[in-house]
Amino acid sequence: MRREHIEKSAAEIAAQVRSGRVSAAEIVEETLAHVDLVDGALGSYLTVLADAARAAAVRVDERVRGGEQLPLAGVPLAVKDNMCLDGTRTTCGSKILERWIAPYTATAVARMLDAGAIAIGKANCDEFAMGSSCENSALGVTRNPYDPARVPGGSSGGSAAAVAAYEAAVGLGSDTGGSIREPGAFCNLVAFKPTYGRVSRYGLIAFASSLDQIGPLTRTVEDAALAYDAMAGYDPMDATSIDRPVEATASALREDLRGLRVGIVREFDTKALGPDLDRIYRQAYGDLERLGAEVVEVSLPTAEYGVATYYLIAPAECSSNLARFDGVRYGLRVEGNDVRAMYDKTRAAGFGPEVKRRILIGTYALSSGYYDAYYVRAQKARTLIARDFAVAFEQCDLIACPAASCPAFQFGAKSDPYSMYLMDYYTIPMSLAGLPALSVPCGWTTPADGNLPMPIGLQLCTPLFGERLLLGAAHAYERATNHAGARQPVLDGVRA
């Protein structure tokens, strides 16, 4: 199968389309042919938008011929299926929305399309973005392109797999506690969660409103910066959107880290991850130092409470947000003898086990007599975690730590909720503090239960609104190490 253009970065694709060396229509046809070839086995997409993509490509080519300098001209885009795209099936990976058609387009998606990107399809995800493996989708299984016997990570697993397998050049994901960064680490990608409120949540079907944030998954840091620059900015349709000027990032990428202080978190001891991962992360910290950074130790003493804090706040907000799915206004409706029976039957049939579990946890945490003991205390702990970051950033410019505690695991390997929840141990604290953070490939390890090397991600984090510094530093690390380019996905034997 010819992949002449679609293996290129988004920046390279857009430059070729703008120059006229290749048309957006050609890019789309090559992408769709490749999706037809591999996605039946990988399961990245829940819905492929072939006709709409072809029509969009014609419009992009017309705009380019008209002189528009579109930063993402012709770039194939995977849209996580919890983001609305007008006229498309938008399911959140749930039976309760399996046949729902979105009547409008999310702001972040619209801005990507305005910049010239072309939506290839709606990507699979854990149901309502609740999960760390993409195993909780009610509508299909997504496999890791580097080992189809393993998960792609979650909840943005479909977007990650699509980008890793060249079914898109950019994937849009949502990150609540690590749902962009972890699948990025599992699939050898750059995976970027901006500052909370930097990218509009309008049109993102809410899981936990004080935590959810949209961001890109890409094969290069430059592509992540281009996507962020296209999406970021104030949106009056989103009450949590921040009205503050956005600094361009794609034009300010760095080649070294001279003058920067990088904090290594004392409490995040990588020896606990085993000798191979410990070696990889120590090598990564050393690479940061060799690039000119001053490496210092910092402390986040309350970070260990992040998982417990998150799994009170996020389920509480989930309980509130998902109350709207009752069979009355939209989505699945299962008839009953009365309204109460209809509610019960609809939600029992429409929600999967993990969503039900989190609704129950959240409802309990918000219930009379327990609200102060659980939800209010969790919010106080969240404040302490944010304060710890503020103190740490007095001593450093950015923080480096693991993006995940292990490489991609086999399906069913973490079937109990507790072990699955711990997958977000390193990513949750940044989410609770609202900080920008990303995962960038930092090495490869062969799991004990497999024979294929799997990627590992280094997480970098900066203070609020530090996206320019964050992406710049990640670019310097990426260019100096090129871990992502060490191996290709296993696609030759993957066929629909």
Given the residues 132, 137, 155, 439, the one annotated as active site: 155
Given the residues 44, 179, 200, 431, the one annotated as active site: 179
What is d(CA 322, CA 217) in angstroms, rounded to the nearest whole number? Answer: 26
Other C-beta atoms closer than 10 Å to the C-beta of 314 total 28
Other C-beta atoms closer than 10 Å to the C-beta of 276 total 16
What is d(CA 289, CA 268) in angstroms, rounded to the nearest whole number? Answer: 18
Given the residues 8, 80, 122, 414, the one annotated as active site: 80
What is d(CA 131, CA 493) in angstroms, rounded to the nearest whole number? Answer: 28
179 in active site:
yes
Contacting residues for 410 by C-beta, under 8 A, at least 6 apart: 149, 150, 151, 449, 450
DSSP one-letter code for 95: G
Sign, CA dihedral 67-72-76-78, equals: negative
Does the bond joining 155 to the residue before it have cis omega, within 30 degrees of 0?
Answer: yes
8 in active site:
no
What is d(CA 253, CA 239) in angstroms, rounded to the nearest whole number? Answer: 31
Using CB atoms within 10 A of its CB, is residue 93 exposed (0-12), middle (13-18) or buried (19+)?
buried
345 in active site:
no
3-class secondary-structure state, position 453 = coil
Sign, CA dihedral 32-142-184-111, equals: positive
Other C-beta atoms closer than 10 Å to the C-beta of 329 total 8
Active site residues: 80, 155, 179
